[in-house]
Amino acid sequence: MCAFTNQGVLQAGWALKGVTAVPTLLPRLLQRGYNPPELLAKEVARLLGLPYRRVLRRRRYAPSQPTRGRARRALPQDLFAPVERVEGAWLLQDDVLTSGATFLRAREALLMVGASRVYGAFIAVRDPGALGPYR
């Protein structure tokens, strides 16, 4: 995985400053004892030789997205709040991409606190067209 991760990022030309994760819901964190995207993000950061930082926090509750059908895109604008400012390009890790709504809200929050670009990393993708055409 290390060679694949490093090679893919190098080939893409991403000059990343760090890696962060989409924060989970507090009830899920308490139930599981961990945040799956954060575990993944820490390992990806380690493999890339980049810092992992917890840049965002969940500001409010929103129902789980994969089970919401068409309503899943209707997430509150202020779902995530920044914990600190960032600079440069960042890799935002989530575990599953269904509609892309949660990722896009987290991406917006990162851009608002100084990220120049936000790239996404996912382990499972339910709808490959959720984020639009690949660029």
Question: What mean pLDDT comes out for the span 86-99?
Answer: 88
The pTM of this model reads 0.77
pLDDT at residue 109 in the model: 94
pLDDT at residue 14 in the model: 86
Q: Compare 103 and 129 and report the one with higher pLDDT.
A: 103
pLDDT at residue 89 in the model: 96
The closest of 49, 128, 119, 113 to 81, measured between CA atoms, is 113
Q: What is the pLDDT of residues 67-92, one digit of tens each?
A: 545 554 567 778 898 999 999 999 99
Q: What is the pLDDT of residues 25-48, one digit of tens each?
A: 777 878 888 888 899 899 889 989
Domain 17-62+79-125: CATH class, spelled out: alpha beta
Euclidean distance between CA atoms 27 and 97, whole angstroms: 20
Q: What share of the chain is helix, strand, coil (3-state, %, to 5)?
A: 35, 20, 40
Q: What is the pLDDT of residues 3-24, one digit of tens each?
A: 446 677 777 888 999 999 999 8
The closest of 118, 116, 73 to 97, measured between CA atoms, is 73
pLDDT at residue 63 in the model: 56
Domain residue limits, the chain = 17-62+79-125
